[in-house]
Structure 1
Amino acid sequence: MPGPKDLDPSSSPRAMIGAELRYARERMGLSQTELGEPLFVSGSFIGQLESGTRRMQREYAVQLDVILRTDGFFTRHCETSAKSRYPEHFEEEAEAETFATSIRHYIPLLIPGLLQTPAYSAALFRAYRPTAPDSEIEELVEIRAKRGRLLDDPTKPLLMVVLDEAAIRRPVGGPAVMAEALRHVAHLMRRHRIIVQVLPFATGAHAAMGGALKYMEFADAPPLCFVDGLDTGKLLDDPATVARHALTFTLLQVSGLSSAHSLALIESVAQDYDHEEQPS
């Protein structure tokens, strides 16, 4: 029987819990699929818990302590890993993207959160919460800005975005805010940090008319998809569903402008917003 595993004290709580889960499962001689069966989850879900890609929920922690005979370890520690500053429907997705090696994202009407400027985010949050105090809006903007720092790493994750033309034409926050927001996207494109394609109005009907999607890949776990709507969202791990969403994103890319033409359009629209700001 293998000896106790040394845990890295610098690891995140979820990484530590995941490492302990893998150790306890292997100690019991169970595969990921076998461990998932009594929890009514897939083997890939167990793999995502072990890699830290997904946060352990208390309902699973309690059952795992019984199945793996871990004397309440997972129940005690899952509360630590559950702390999040994100809305409940979004927290798992936001945490998962920090582990992703690549992210593919499409939103019909917005510039994605990872690419937003503070002023653009503030305009959105104010529209969502017209009576909220300024302090609440400022906190939400700071949380979103911290997510954007994921792109401070020069190489990972690989971020591919299909940006709907509606997102660059709708003047969120006014012309000055939009000009700054689009120049930020263009700057990241020119630095070769992100890959962006604009899905033009001329495309007509397309594969994602039903809403937004995000497809994430990981180094040591199966891919995940996140679909969301108004104050709702769901992380999906069913292989067939994930594969279908991957195909949907590919179809969007095929329908979009090339990166070069997309960059030219984004910068041209930013310039148009600048002209709107100039006094006549």
Structure 2
Amino acid sequence: MANGSRQAAWEFFGAELKRRREDAGFTQVELGSRVFVSGGYIGQFEQAIRKPQLDVAQRIDEILQTDGFFERTWRKLIDDKRYADYFAEVVELERAATKICQFAPSVIPGLLQTAAYARAVTIAANPFVTDEYVEEKVSARLERARILKDATRPEYWAILHENVLRVPVGGPAAMVMQLEHIAALADGRRVLVTVVPREEGACASMAAMMQLMEFDDAPPTLYTETSFSGELLDDPAVVKRAQRAYDLLRGAALSPKTSLALIESAAEDYRRCASTT
């Protein structure tokens, strides 16, 4: 679904929510209290500024007695079989974000991955799938990354642990392309990438990937992920703690200039390795 038609569909979702809420005699605050969000969130859903999570859409159906209408509409708009169920909504939020901050402890973030790197990661996690499955996943990942090329692209910060640079995912030649790609994005001022060196051992305890997203007209959101699942959180207290953790990681990271030099040095190491194999 194109972005324009997708937005129009969310506006329809919001208009229906407003109509059915008013028909049921609820204010935004009253409905919000029953589905465990603020009245302001209900207003943002109705204006298509923010998208509800699935459990919220389900509770709205229950309170307004809409026979699953909002859940079905949500699934149609959010569910994209190219992505894991827990990640489809994150992709939608990335398109609306004005700022994205990521910490990657073990794997290059998807928004920065090249096709070869994405292919190697997908096969490593799914060794028995078809080539068609692999290429669908790779294509979806590269499509996500297009937001970094848009004129309205979000401000994008990535903090990589040095281990991410040193694990030869896909082999030396693939790593050369991957690290050169990151360096080119940084050189072109499309992204800001810093690296936490191995010497900052305490940062290794930040084992989970984390992604913070900010929006023009909605509160910030946190996404965390392990190997098999992810969680989207917008509780203000939790997001605030995550932002503090991210600030501490930023303080432990090398400067952007030094980080870029380390990335280029790692690429050169892989280049030498590739030339001898």
Partner of 2:258: 261
2:30 paired residue among 3, 27, 34? 34
Partner of 1:235: 232
Partner of 2:80: 84
1:277 aligns with 2:256: no
Find the aligned partners of 1:201 and 1:268 in 2 and give their Cα distance: 15
> Does the Cα contact within 8 Å between 2:35 and 2:60 map onto a contact in 1?
no
Note closer, same or farther for the CA distance 1:89–1:72 as it changes in structure 2 (3 Å cut).
closer
Find the aligned partners of 1:270 and 1:241 in 2 and give their Cα distance: 37
What are the residue-to-residue correspondences of 1:78-117 with 2, within 5 Å?
Answer: 78-85=74-81, 86-117=83-114
> Does the Cα contact within 8 Å between 1:155 and 1:193 map onto a contact in 2?
no
Partner of 1:124: 121
Return the offset for 1:166. Answer: 0.5
> Does the Cα contact within 8 Å between 2:156 and 2:192 map onto a contact in 1?
yes
Return the offset for 1:63. Answer: 3.0
Q: Between 96-105 and 77-86, report the one with greater CA deviation.
A: 77-86
Task: For structure 2, list consecutive stretches of 5 or more residues without a partner in the other structure.
Answer: none
> Does the Cα contact within 8 Å between 1:44 and 1:221 map onto a contact in 2?
no
Paired AA for residue 11 in structure 1: Q
Note closer, same or farther for the CA distance 1:224–1:48 as it changes in structure 2 (3 Å cut).
farther
CA RMSD in angstroms comes to 2.6
Find the aligned partners of 2:179 and 2:232 in 1 and give their Cα distance: 29
Note closer, same or farther for the CA distance 1:131–1:125 as it changes in structure 2 (3 Å cut).
same
> Does the Cα contact within 8 Å between 2:97 and 2:214 map onto a contact in 1?
yes
Note closer, same or farther for the CA distance 1:26–1:167 as it changes in structure 2 (3 Å cut).
farther
Partner of 2:171: 174
Note closer, same or farther for the CA distance 1:134–1:173 as it changes in structure 2 (3 Å cut).
same
1:204 aligns with 2:186: no
Return the offset for 1:16. Answer: 3.0
| TM-score normalised per structure 2 | 0.87
Find the aligned partners of 2:160 and 2:51 in 1 and give their Cα distance: 27
| TM-score normalised per structure 1 | 0.86
Task: For structure 1, list consecutive stretches of 5 or more residues without a partner in the other structure.
Answer: 1-7
Provide the aligned length of Structure 1 versus Structure 2: 269
Paired AA for residue 77 in structure 1: T
Partner of 2:64: 65
Partner of 1:245: 242
Find the aligned partners of 1:80 and 1:122 in 2 and give their Cα distance: 27
Return the offset for 1:92. Answer: 1.5
